[in-house]
A = this chain, B = another copy of it.
Amino acid sequence: MILKGNDKFISGGVCAAKGFKANGVNCGLNSDKNKNDLALIVSDTLCNTACVYTQNKVKGAPIYVTKAHLEKTGGKSRAVIANSKYANTCNADGEEKAEKMCSLAGDALGIPSDEVIVASTGVIGQVLPIEPIESGIKPLVEGLSYTGNDKAANAIMTTDTVDKQVAVEFDISGKTCRLGGMAKGSGMIHPNMATTLNFITTDVNISVDMLQKALSEVVETTYNCLSVDGDTSTNDMASVMANGLAENDEIISDNADFETFKQALYAVMMNMTRMLASDGEGATKLLECNVIGAKDFKTAKTIAKSVICSPLFKCAMFGADANWGRILCAIGYADAEFDISNVSVTLGSSKGKIQVCENGAGIAFSEEKAKEILLEDEIIIDINIGDGEGKATAWGCDLTYDYVKINGGYRS
């Protein structure tokens, strides 16, 4: 996948920014010893921290514990501990176990457990065994390094087929800054506030309030515009930790530095969103739907998400079938205000573009050319509503036999 939206991508993921160590181990939650299941990210110094959480009424215990910790510390944290295989959701002892994960990490690192963020992903409702985590914490902390990001990114994967890491470098008031992150997510992805598990670190000096503002704004145009299957997870969470080691003047208002920071955050989160869509359960294609000409952003977003969520359209993309009627149908049932008779639709990929619909009706096009375009693995759907300046992009993936296999075949 080609990264978009920035000209200075770097390697390193959550370790790209100054002063962040990470590690991942297999502690025994996952019976496959070659797959890590426990991740730790630690900053050398205390971080200003922002978080967004799932809007599902059923929330994982780690969500409640992380929220409580950040409220108690006023948005300060030093570390993240996260496990895969068990969601620690809908369990009577869930919060107790999540607190225990934080105190295990805090004790081993010599920091208060309230400065630890905790997250879990995996099967809902199965009781999280704490013993493997108790015994795994020592090697996890001992193995921490400034290049441990790959091990950590591996530890949070579930049905993911590849890890997701993005990092960028940029300047703020003459200081070189870095921001990078890791994400996991493949199924149960239809974020509504945050997504899956997502951890971002940066050495930028920025206040808690402005950090939260940046995260809340960027999540709206990135993760919240993503859908793999329409299922909003119980454990979605995205956090940004900023330790200030880049030594720029602290960002405390909505100024040019804040805009620069937000651009970097957008580049990382937008590309992570693309990676999540591209690696959706069973997916063979990334679908990117750009809506322009809508009344406002909200209208554009509603329409774009309606299209990339349509099971019929997702199946058509799997079959590389230019069945544009299904796109119009999905635009039509989007809960938004617009005049369908002004709508035009163009399909594109690295093989070119082809317009299939104008003024709300089909137009003649080469089915052969359309097939060639749709056989690629990144498909762009451009929709012009012809009604204003609002625009939005949403990301999704095709619906395939393997999605059914992964989710019908065994409990994941």
Interface on A for B, CB 8 Å cutoff?
A: 55-59, 87, 89-92, 123-126, 187-188, 190, 192, 229-234, 309-312, 315-316, 318-319, 321, 323-326, 328-334, 338, 340, 357, 360-362, 398-401, 403-411
In the bound complex, residues from chain B placing their C-beta under 8 Å from that of A411 are 316, 321, 323
A305, chain B: closest CB distance, angstroms: 12
A87-B325, A124-B326, A324-B125 as given contacts; A229 in contact with B361, CB under 8 Å: no
A361→B61 CA distance, assembly (Å): 12
A321-B408 in contact (CB<8A): yes
A94→B316 CA distance, assembly (Å): 24
A91-B361, A125-B361, A312-B231 as given contacts; A328 in contact with B58, CB under 8 Å: yes
A111→B311 CA distance, assembly (Å): 42
A319→B403 CA distance, assembly (Å): 12
B400-A404 in contact (CB<8A): yes
Some 8 contacts from A to B, beta carbons below 8 A apart, are A57-B331, A90-B362, A123-B325, A315-B406, A316-B408, A319-B410, A323-B411, A401-B404
A232→B231 CA distance, assembly (Å): 18
A329-B404 in contact (CB<8A): no
A125-B362, A231-B312, A315-B408 as given contacts; A56 in contact with B321, CB under 8 Å: no
Nearest opposing residue in chain B for A93, CB measure: B361
A51→B210 CA distance, assembly (Å): 54
A53, chain B: closest CB distance, angstroms: 13
Nearest opposing residue in chain B for A231, CB measure: B312
A229-B328 in contact (CB<8A): no
A55-B408 in contact (CB<8A): no
B400-A333 in contact (CB<8A): no
A410→B322 CA distance, assembly (Å): 10
A255→B73 CA distance, assembly (Å): 65
- Return the contact of A57 from the options B126, B332, B401, B407 (Cβ within 8 A): B332
In the bound complex, residues from chain B placing their C-beta under 8 Å from that of A233 are 329
A52→B400 CA distance, assembly (Å): 34
A229→B124 CA distance, assembly (Å): 24
In the bound complex, residues from chain B placing their C-beta under 8 Å from that of A405 are 401
- Return the contact of A330 from the options B231, B316, B401, B403 (Cβ within 8 A): B231
B318-A408 in contact (CB<8A): yes
A407→B312 CA distance, assembly (Å): 6
A5, chain B: closest CB distance, angstroms: 29
In the bound complex, residues from chain B placing their C-beta under 8 Å from that of A123 are 323, 325
A231-B361 in contact (CB<8A): no
Nearest opposing residue in chain B for A398, CB measure: B408
A338-B407 in contact (CB<8A): no
A285, chain B: closest CB distance, angstroms: 11
A57-B340, A188-B312, A312-B187 as given contacts; A328 in contact with B407, CB under 8 Å: no
- Return the contact of A329 from the options B56, B311, B362 (Cβ within 8 A): B56
A58-B311 in contact (CB<8A): no
- Return the contact of A328 from the options B124, B126, B318 (Cβ within 8 A): B124
A332-B56 in contact (CB<8A): yes
A311-B230 in contact (CB<8A): yes
Top-8 shortest CB links A-B: A124-B325, A58-B332, A315-B407, A319-B408, A125-B362, A232-B333, A318-B408, A56-B332
B404-A404 in contact (CB<8A): yes
In the bound complex, residues from chain B placing their C-beta under 8 Å from that of A87 are 325
B404-A408 in contact (CB<8A): no
In the bound complex, residues from chain B placing their C-beta under 8 Å from that of A192 are 333
B331-A58 in contact (CB<8A): yes
- Return the contact of A234 from the options B232, B329, B334, B409 (Cβ within 8 A): B329
In the bound complex, residues from chain B placing their C-beta under 8 Å from that of A230 are 230, 309-311
